[in-house]
Amino acid sequence: SYAGSYGLSIQSSPGSSEQVVSLKANTTYVFGAYARVANNGEHVLLGVKNHGATQVTQAISSTAFRRDSIIFR
């Protein structure tokens, strides 16, 4: 289940949010998030880019909060 005090709401389409963080080389990371869409047929893309390898994305199209994650190195 999901419980939390902070969140991000994007009200227009297309919309985006980005966070830049520092990473250590040769280290495996997991980027995870809870996300949902307002309407059936929409999707949210979680993604990791500019980490020294190919950009990785994961689509979420559920209208209920769902946790998904991306493992990258």
Question: Can you give the pTM of this predicted structure?
Answer: 0.78
Question: Is residue 51 classed exposed, middle or buried when 0-12, 13-18 and 19+ CB atoms within 10 A define those classes?
Answer: middle
- Phi, psi for 48 (deg, rounded to 5): -130, 125
pLDDT at 1 over 60: no
Determine contact, residues 28/52, Cβ cutoff 8 Å.
Answer: no
Q: Measuring CA to CA, which residue among 70, 54, 55 is closest to residue 35?
A: 70
Task: Return the DSSP state at 61.
Answer: -
- Give tens-digit pLDDT for 18-69: 999 999 999 999 999 999 999 999 999 999 999 989 999 999 999 999 999 9
